[in-house]
Amino acid sequence: MGRNYASKHGLDPDLFARAAALARMPDEFNSMSFLTEEEKIGLNLEATKKWHVPKKLFQVIALGSMAAAVQGMDETVINGAVLYYPKQLDIVKYKNEDLIEGLINGAPYLAASTIACWLSDWCNKKVGRKWVIFWTCVVSALTCIWQGLVNNWWHLFLARFFLGFGIGIKSATVPAYAAECVPRHIRGALVMLWQFFTAVGIMFGYVASLAFYKVPDRGIGEGLNWRLMVASACIPAFIVLFQIPFVPESPRWLMGNDRHGDAFESLVKLRHERIAAARDCFYQHVLLAEEHSYRGISTYKRLIEMFTIRRNRNGALGAWIVMFMQQFCGINVIAYYSSSIFVESGLGIRDSLLASWGFGMINFLFAIPAFYTIDTFGRRNLLLTTFPLMSLFLLITMCGFWIDQDTNPNGRIGLIAFGIYVYSCIYSCGEGPVPFTYSAEAFPLYIRDLGMGFATATCWFFNFILAFTWPRLRNAFTPQGAFGFYAAWNIVGFFLVLLFLPETKGLTLEELDEVFGVSLRKHAWYRLQEFSNNVNKHVLRRKVTPMEPLYEHEKRMAVTNPEWTEKTEVSHVE
């Protein structure tokens, strides 16, 4: 099969014959006599030293990381600017100034969710992954500069709306580009790198606010400080632009455009051994052939089947729950408005910007443990643990606003900062890394692109809702009521996860089909009983009978479970 593939596309038949055999059993290379000792050494290094990768692959990883930082910085440079631009652009004179402020801050996410996400697939097919990244960074850079040159609020709204095209398309393209270039053994870490370096970019957005807040106008117009803040996000975008010519195109995209020779040469640059490049080239060809078999299914039919087939519907619901709750847990309210929140707590502008930088630093540092927790504790367990804790610390933040500023200013500021900082720590280890990881696992192959489009649009749409509504919510509910509102949503999130979110950690494709094929009613009832048993066992210290596993693959494993062994023995004695 490998020989036929190579002959058809002008590649080395002998190399691909060996590569096809290796692709069938990639972990058994030491027992394959047709491999040379040098090839075995190279494959062993690849398997045992995950980050022993070629220079070109490091450049791809660096590109993806910097693009994620662009994303984070685009999102948070507005945080410091919001302290200044409403007054200087005369927004404060309008009756609905809070809605205008929210509309401006949320404009990129409105564009990303309603238009940009849906253009991503078309753009990628037309110009290729790396050039889509190039042009989205051009859009990001130019719109950031545009934001710094505006002279009225609707002009700023337009600039930020068009920034959403860079944000939305880039967020869908960069993870796909990186995943298609890297070997399978570090592919999962690349999803986490996107989240991690987005947190890095978020932190640098706060750094920019701190760096420019005291810049005087210097006779060239009002508000030079906030204009420099929003324009500074063009710097990492330009860095990405200059990286693009030095990285190869996605091999998978090249193969999808029938450029198999170019795809192989691209993989040769991204692997130490030619046999490894040929193995991955052949394997991607097989996967692509499977995808082509689905092309006869129309988009309309795939859309209908996303809702009418239980396995697809349950997977979609799970993805939408985690994407929705990533926003309604309240994290981006703090990411976009922390400077205003800290000013309202009683801090001055400089100290508020410094406190916001502290939030960004914590968000960045506590993204590091997520590399370990996501695959150790599982997606579902992380969310069930962190949602109640996030709710608790939002309530603590809420209580801080009830402390009188005149009689106990330090206590007020301290409790608010404590609640926000610990909340950020918990988010970064739990709900932060889960949504995109979970969504990538939730959809079967033939609707994955469509499903991820919906999931990403869900994320960006509710991101817009948060940014748009917070100023009005804060004014109508007071800060106490607004933080209490999102604390309540974290409790809602806990029960949504408890009842409707299956675990996906470490499951094969067949096991994922089985897990998402269980009816929601059966899953919810089982999890309620399990929750009740856990309360009785761990809180009330009562003896409970272990429940029968919910899934068939768990039943096959039950013989190795000590609790089930114990249950059988007790039943026999009775």
The pTM assigned to this predicted structure is 0.87
List the structure tokens of 331.
């994290």
Amino acid occupying residue 87? K
User: What pLDDT does 10 receive?
Assistant: 87
What angle (nearest 5°) sits at the alpha carbon of residue 192, between those of residues 210 and 253?
110
User: What pLDDT does 40 receive?
Assistant: 84
Residues comprising the chain, all counted: 574
Query: What's the per-residue H, E or C state across 155-204?
Result: HHHHHHHHHHHHHHHHHHHHHHHHHHHCCHHHHHHHHHHHHHHHHHHHHH
C-alpha dihedral sign at 77, 83, 87, 91: positive
User: What pLDDT does 404 receive?
Assistant: 92
Phi and psi based region of residue 161 (left: phi greater than 0; alpha: psi -120 to 50; beta: remaining) = alpha
Other beta carbons less than 10 A from residue 437's beta carbon: 21
User: What pLDDT does 221 receive?
Assistant: 65
CATH number among 3.30.1360.100, 1.20.1250.20, 3.40.50.620, 3.90.960.10, domain 294-506 = 1.20.1250.20
Distance CA 107, CA 123 (A): 21
Phi and psi based region of residue 258 (left: phi greater than 0; alpha: psi -120 to 50; beta: remaining) = left
Distance CA 99, CA 102 (A): 5
User: Where do the CATH 1.20.1250.20 domains begin and end in the chain?
Assistant: 50-245, 294-506
pLDDT < 50 regions, the chain: 560-574
CATH class of the structural domain 50-245: mainly alpha
Assess contact for 450 and 302: CB atoms under 8 A: yes
User: What pLDDT does 565 receive?
Assistant: 41
User: What pLDDT does 566 receive?
Assistant: 40
Phi and psi based region of residue 218 (left: phi greater than 0; alpha: psi -120 to 50; beta: remaining) = left
Assess contact for 214 and 229: CB atoms under 8 A: no
